[in-house]
Amino acid sequence: MENGGSVVSQPSPDGYEEDVITKETGTSETEPSETEMAKAETSKPEPCDAEPKKAKQKTAKRKTAKGRRHRRRCHQDNFASFATYFRRVLKQVHTGLSLSHEAMNVMDSFVKHMFEQIAEEAGSLAHSSKHCTITSGEIQRAVRLLLPGEIGKHAVSEATKSVIRYNTLQETQEPRV
């Protein structure tokens, strides 16, 4: 190696030249060797039957009126838990009670499982009626099929009441821009 901050290229065991950088400069300028050029020319594209590579997820940015950039929220499957909703309902019904962490996990897995079953049943009902869209009617029929008797009727009536309450609340509020 030369003194004075110069860069010397030395061949490595795998055929590529590696840079030897002196402490004074901290930079490297190496041109590709003949073996690197030959490998680049003879490299073949990957066959089509190989597994496709996953594309990197890009974060889209858009400008607001003030010129600031904000990242668009991406829809990930990061809906972790219904725990906050269980606490709210429990506080409304029984103010002095609380749920343990284990009970919260059991309730959470139960609710997720029920939603999956309702969605699956509603999808099969839509498929059997040769429709591409799951409507509220299919959801109601799926709930009545999955929950027997009086509890199914009660669930449908409570869901209908809450949807009506949500729609009236949305109509009374001013539209957001």
Domain boundaries defined on the chain: 82-172
Q: Which helix (H) or strand (E) holds 40?
A: helix 34-42
**Does position 39 have pLDDT exceeding 50, yes or no?**
yes
Residue appearing with tokens 């839509």: 126
Lowest mean pLDDT among 7-11, 101-105, 121-125, 140-144: 7-11
Spell out the residues 6+ positions from residue 166 whose beta carbon is closer than 8 angstroms to its own.
Answer: none
**Does position 22 have pLDDT exceeding 50, yes or no?**
no
Task: Tell me the helices (H) and strands (E) count for the chain, helix number first.
Answer: 5, 4
Closest CA to 6 of 31, 25, 34, 33: 25
The confidence score (pLDDT) of residue 45 equals 47
Q: Which helix (H) or strand (E) holds 120?
A: helix 101-128
The arithmetic mean of pLDDT across residues 161-177, rounded, is 86
Report which of residues 3 and 94 the model is more confident about.
Answer: 94
E-only strand ranges, the chain: 8-11, 17-20, 61-63, 69-71
CATH number of 82-172: 1.10.20.10
Give residue-wise pLDDT tens across range 56-73.
565 555 555 566 776 666
Question: Which of 37-41, 80-84, 136-140 is most confident?
Answer: 136-140
Q: For strand 61-63 and strand 17-20, is the pairing parallel, antiparallel, or unpaired?
A: unpaired
> For the whole prediction, is pTM greater than 0.85?
no
